[in-house]
A and B are shown apart, each in its own frame.
Chain A
Amino acid sequence: MLTYSFKRLVQLFVTVLGVVTLVFFTMRLIPGDPISAMAGDNLSGAALDQMRGQMGLNDPLPVQYLTYLGRLAVLDFGTTVTTKLPIVGLILGALPVTVSIALGTIFLTVLISIPLGTLAAYMAHKGNRMLDNIITGVAMVLDLMPPFWTSLVCLLIFSLTLGWFPASGTVSLDDPAMLLRRIALPVLVLSMAQIATLARITRTSVLEVLNEDYVRTARSMGWSELHVLFRHALKNAALPIVTVIGLSFGNLLNGTVIVEFIFTLPGIGNLLVGGMNSRDYQMVQTLIVFYAMIFVAINFTTDLIYRVFDPRVQF
C-alpha cells in the first residue's frame, strides 16, 4: 500500500509537470496575450510593451517557463491579470458550484442506471431482450446529442417555456434551495449523456456474472433470484462499473465547462472560459494544474474502491 501510494505520488508529479508544460506553451501559441486582450485598441504600442516588461512577458520563453516553474514549486499561483485577485481564492470560491453539479450528476446517473442495467441484465439472462433493446436504442440517441445542444433545448423547454427552473440568478451555498434549482438542469443535461453508457456497462457486466458458476452455486443453496442478483451478481460486476464511473468524472469536468457557460453558473468551468478569453495565462495554467490533480485523485480513489469490492485486488 505504501509502495502504491508512493507510485501514485510520483505519477501525480509527472502528470502535473507534463500538463503544465503543455499548457504553458500552447497558451502562448494562441494569438494575443493578456495585455492586448485587456487593453483592446486603446493603448499605444510603447505603453503595452512597458506593461509586458513589468509582467516579464518580454523575457525569452524558456526564462518565462523556468520562472513559472519556480513559482509553482513554492505554491505561488499568482493573481489574475485584470483584477489582481489571488487565483487560488477565486477557484475555492467557484468550487462548490462545480462540485455540486458533478456530484449531483454522478448521484443521479448511478441512481438510475445501475438498477436499470441490473434489471436489463436479469431479463436478458431469462431470455427477454426487450428492456435491453430499449436501453441500447435510447443510449444511441443520447450519445449522438452533444451537451451544448441538449443544454439549449432544456433551457428553451424547462426554463423559457415552462418556467420550472430559473435561467439565471445568483448562486451561493447560503441559499441551497436556489442552488438546487439552478443546477437541476445542468445535472439533467450531463446525466443524460452518462446514464445510457453506465446502464449498458452495468447490464453487460451483470449479465456476464449471472452466467458464472458461483451464481449457480448460490441458486443451488436455495437463494431467491433477488438475493442472487444483489448479493452475488452486482458485487462481482462492480469493477467495470466503478471504472466507468471514474472515467465519467473525467467527462464531467469537460461537461461542466459547457453547462456552466450556457447556464451562467459561477463555477470553475466559467473561470476557465473567462481566463481563456482574457488570455490570462496564470489563471488558465493554475486551473489546468487543478484539473490534473483532480484527475489523479479520482484515479486513486477508483483504485481504492476496487479493493472494497474485490479483495483480490492487491496494491
Chain B
Amino acid sequence: MNELRPIRSALLDVRNLHTHFLTDKGTVKAVNGVSFQINQGERVAIVGESGSGKSAMAMSLLRLLAYPGKVVSGEINLEGRDLNRLSERQLNEVRGRLVGTIFQDPMSSLDPVMRISNQMIPPIMRHLGLSREKARAEAISWLDRVGIPDAARRIESYPFEMSGGMRQRVMIAMALSCRPRLVIADEPTTALDVTIQAQIVELLKELTAETGAAMIFITHDLGLVARFAHKVGVMYAGKLVEFGPVKDIFARPRHPYTQSLLDTIPPVDQLERRRLAQIPGFPPDMKLPVTGCAFKDRCAGAHRRCFEVAPELEPRGHGHAAACWLPEGLGAGRQMERALIPPMEPAADAGEDRVVVEINNLHKHFTTRSSLPWRKPPTVRAVNGISLRIRKGETLGIVGESGCGKSTVARLLLGLDPATSGDIFIDGMAQMVFQDPSSSFNPKMTLFNIIQEPLVVTGWGTKAERETRVRELLGQVGLDESYMHRYPSQLSGGQRQRIAIARALALKPSVVVADEPTSALDVSVRAQIINLLVDLKQKLRVSFVFISHDLLTVSYISDKIAVMYLGEVVEYGPADEVFNNPAHPYTQALISAVPIPDPEAEEARIQKPLSGELPSPLNLPVGCSFASRCPKATDYCRTHKMVLKPYSKTRETACHYAS
C-alpha cells in the first residue's frame, strides 16, 4: 500500500546524531554520528550487541535518556521538524502523539500502583482532545485490538494482575493509542517466551501495517530481524556499520561485523555440524578515542588503512550501505576457518556407552502454606512424573516455556531440592553451570579459589595437586593461567562463564547440568561458549544437560531433546529429528515460533503463532495438559491423560494423534 504512494521526503531523517554519557570516569560516546532515514510505514530493525549504542540511539530520538546521557549534536527530523531543537514542552506534544514507544521489560514498564485505565486514558484525552468517555472507549477498543480478552473489564486491572505477555500487549496498545506516525520498540520481546514473542511480533506487524505507522525495532536477535524488518541497520561501537534492505543484508552482508554476526548463529540445517564463527576480542572502550575503524582489532580482514582512517557508510547499491574499506568485507574468507565437527567416536567398549543418569517417574510439588488450617493448601506441580535416561558423553537438551519445570529438574538432578517422589540415579557426580555468571561467584574470592573450591570441600589431593588441576582446568576452558589470581569482577561475561564451566568440571563429574548458560551472553560470546561446550563434550566425554529456551542453540548442541510442558515431557528423541520433524503439536508450535535468521525462509513459513499462554500449574487440566492451547485437541484429549509413548524407533511423544 505504502509503496504505491509517492513519498517525497522520509518520515524520519536522522543526521549525524551524537549522544554522550558524561560520567565521572569520562565521557562515554555511546552514539557516534548515526545517520539514517525511515519512510512511512517502514519497519527498520537496528541490531547490535550490548554496548553498541542501539538503545541509547533510540532513546535519543525522543530525548528519553536518563542522566548522565545527553544528545550532543545532530538533527532528528520528524516530518520536517527537528526534534533536537524542540523545547521540552514542545517535545511532550510529540512524545506519545507522533511517536509511540514500547519498552523491553513489560514487567517494569507499566506503573504498578495505577490501574491500566488511569495510565491509558489521560494521554488519549490530552493528545487527541477527546472527552473522558470517548477516550475510554478508544482505550478499550485498542486493548481489544491487541488481544486482551474482556477489555472493558480488564482496563480496570492493575498490571500485576496480568501476565508478562498481556502487559506487553497493554504497552503496545498504549504506544499506539494516539495513532503515532512512528513507533520505537526497544527490544519489545526479549523478556518474553518464544511463543509469546511470536504472538507479539505478529501483532506489531499487523497493527503497524493497519495504521501505516513506521517502526524502529531495536533487537539483538537476528532471527527476529529476518521475520520482521523491511530494512536493517547494524550498529557497532556507536556507529551504523551497515544499513540496507533485509534480504540484501542477510544474503550479501558487506561488513565483516555483520558477516561474523550472522555466522555465530547456529544454522537451522544441521546435517553437517560446523563450528560456529567466533568474533575474537572485545568491543572498544567507548570512553577512549578510536583511531581508524572501531572493529579493526577483531576483524580478520583488517589492513593498514583500517588503523588510520575510519571508513564512512558508503552506498553499495540497492539502498545498501556499509562502512568498510573492503567492498565485500571478509568476502570469500568468511567460511574458511569454520571446521566441521567430527561425529562422536563410537565407544571403545560397552562400558563407555553406559547410562549415567536415570530418572524414573520424578515428581516435585511445591505446597504453599495455607493461612487457614482447614483450607487445603494449593499445590504447584512443577515436575509431574518425568522419566529420562542420559548415556555417557551424551548431551540432553531440555526445552520449554518458562514455568514448564525445566529449571526444577536441574535443581532436582543436583540434589539442591528433594524430590517429592520418584528416583534419580546418577553414576558418578553431577555439577552445575548457572545462567548468570556475574552473580554465581563470590566476588571476594580469586578465580583460583573459586575453581578449587569443590576440590577443597571434598578433600581432593594436596595443595600442589590442586594447583596443577586448576591450571589444567583453565587450559581446558581456554583461559590463560595468569587468570588464576584475578577476581570475577575483572572478567567479561564470557570469561566468567568459562570459569563456571571449569569449576563444574573440577571434580570430573559424569554429568554437567547447564541451566541457560548462554542466555545472559551476547551473540558473539555465546558462540564461543557453545564451541567450548562442544569441544569439551568431544574431549572429555562428559554428559551435559543443556537447559534453554533458545531452541536453535539446544538443537545445535544436543544429541537428544526433551520438550517439557507443564512439568511433563511431551516429546523426546534425537535432536535433529525432533527439530526438523516434530511430532507433538506443542513441539511443532514451539519450533514454528522460533525465528530463523533467513528472511526468504521466514517469508515461506506459515506464521500461525500458538494462541494463549501457559495455564497455571496450580490447577492442571484433567486430560492432556496441552489441550487448552492445542489446535488439534478433541474432547478425548480433554478427558484423557496422555503419557509418553514410542513414536518411532528412537522417539517418544505424548500425543494421542501423533502416532
Binding site for B on A (CB under 8 A): 3, 125-127, 211-214, 216-225, 232, 235-236, 309-312
Contacts and interface: CB of A to CB of B under 8 A. Distances in A.
A214 B110 contact: yes
B341 to A, nearest CB: 41
A133 to B, nearest CB: 16
B21 to A, nearest CB: 11
Tell which of A217, A236, A309 has the most Cβ of chain B within 10 Å: A217
The 5 A-B residue pairs with the shortest CB-CB distance, nearest first, are: A221-B96, A222-B96, A220-B101, A222-B95, A213-B108
Interface string B86-115: 001100111111001101110011111110
Contacts of A224: 88-89, 92
Given A212-B108, A220-B175, A222-B126, 7 more contacts: A214-B110, A220-B95, A222-B97, A224-B89, A236-B111, A236-B112, A236-B113
B606 interface: no
B95 A219 contact: yes
B66 A216 contact: yes
A217 B97 contact: no
Contacts of A220: 62, 64, 95-96, 100-101, 103, 175
Contact of A214 (B67, B68, B109): B109
Interface string B360-382: 00000000000110000000000
B111 A217 contact: yes
A115 B88 CA distance: 23
30 contacts: A3-B371, A3-B372, A125-B67, A213-B104, A214-B108, A214-B109, A214-B112, A216-B66, A216-B103, A216-B109, A217-B101, A217-B103, A217-B171, A218-B119, A219-B64, A220-B103, A221-B123, A222-B97, A222-B123, A222-B126, A223-B123, A224-B89, A232-B114, A235-B114, A236-B112, A236-B113, A310-B113, A311-B160, A312-B112, A312-B160
A217 B66 CA distance: 12
B109 A222 contact: no
A311 B160 CA distance: 9
B89 A222 contact: no
A217 B110 contact: yes
A21 B167 CA distance: 53
A218 B62 contact: no
A232 B123 CA distance: 14
B230 interface: no
B127 interface: yes
Interface residues of B, number: 36
Nearest to A233: B111
Given A213-B103, A236-B112, A310-B112, A221 B95 contact: yes
A127 B95 contact: no
A212 B66 CA distance: 10
- Please indicate which of the listed interface residues B94, B109, B127, B171 has the most CB atoms of chain A within 10 Å of its own CB: B109
A127 to B, nearest CB: 5
B127 A235 contact: no
A283 to B, nearest CB: 40
Contact of A222 (B92, B103, B110, B112): B92
A106 B173 CA distance: 42
Contacts of B127: 222
**Dominant SS among interface residues on chain A:** helix
Contacts of B171: 217
B434 interface: no
B111 A126 contact: no
A232 B111 contact: yes
Contact of A127 (B67, B93, B126): B67
B226 to A, nearest CB: 27
A39 B175 CA distance: 81
A179 B95 CA distance: 53
Nearest to A2: B372
Interface string B51-71: 000000000001010111000
Nearest to A215: B111
B158 interface: yes
Nearest to A124: B67
A213 B89 contact: no
Contacts of A236: 111-113
B477 interface: no
Contacts of B108: 212-214
A214 B62 contact: no
Contacts of B175: 220
A218 to B, nearest CB: 7
Contacts of B110: 214, 217
A237 B104 CA distance: 22
Contacts of B68: 127
B174 interface: yes
Contacts of A219: 64, 95
A211 B66 contact: yes
Contacts of A309: 113
A220 B94 CA distance: 9
A126 B123 CA distance: 24
A127 B67 CA distance: 6
Contacts of A235: 113-114
A219 B91 CA distance: 10
A315 to B, nearest CB: 10
A309 B62 CA distance: 31
A213 B93 CA distance: 20
A311 B158 contact: yes
A217 to B, nearest CB: 5
A78 B126 CA distance: 65
Contact of A223 (B62, B92, B158): B92
Contacts of B112: 214, 236, 310, 312
Contacts of B371: 3
A214 B111 contact: yes
Contacts of B89: 224
Contacts of A126: 67
A213 B97 contact: no
A312 B162 CA distance: 12
A212 B64 CA distance: 13
A7 B609 CA distance: 48
A3 B371 CA distance: 8
A288 to B, nearest CB: 31
Contacts of B94: 222
A235 B95 CA distance: 23
A211 B97 CA distance: 23
B159 to A, nearest CB: 8
Contacts of A225: 88
Contacts of B174: 217, 221
A232 to B, nearest CB: 5
Contact of B113 (A127, A216, A311): A311
Contacts of A312: 112-113, 158, 160
B353 to A, nearest CB: 51
Nearest to A313: B113
Nearest to B95: A222
B115 to A, nearest CB: 8
Contacts of A310: 112-113
A205 to B, nearest CB: 13
A10 to B, nearest CB: 13
Nearest to A311: B158
Contacts of B67: 125-127
A5 to B, nearest CB: 13
Nearest to B171: A217
Contacts of A218: 111, 119
A226 to B, nearest CB: 11
Contacts of B114: 232, 235
A218 B101 CA distance: 10
A236 to B, nearest CB: 6
A223 to B, nearest CB: 7
Contact of A213 (B109, B119, B126, B372): B109
Nearest to B110: A214
A120 B13 CA distance: 38
A216 B64 contact: yes
B181 to A, nearest CB: 14
Nearest to A221: B96
Nearest to B67: A127
Contacts of A211: 66
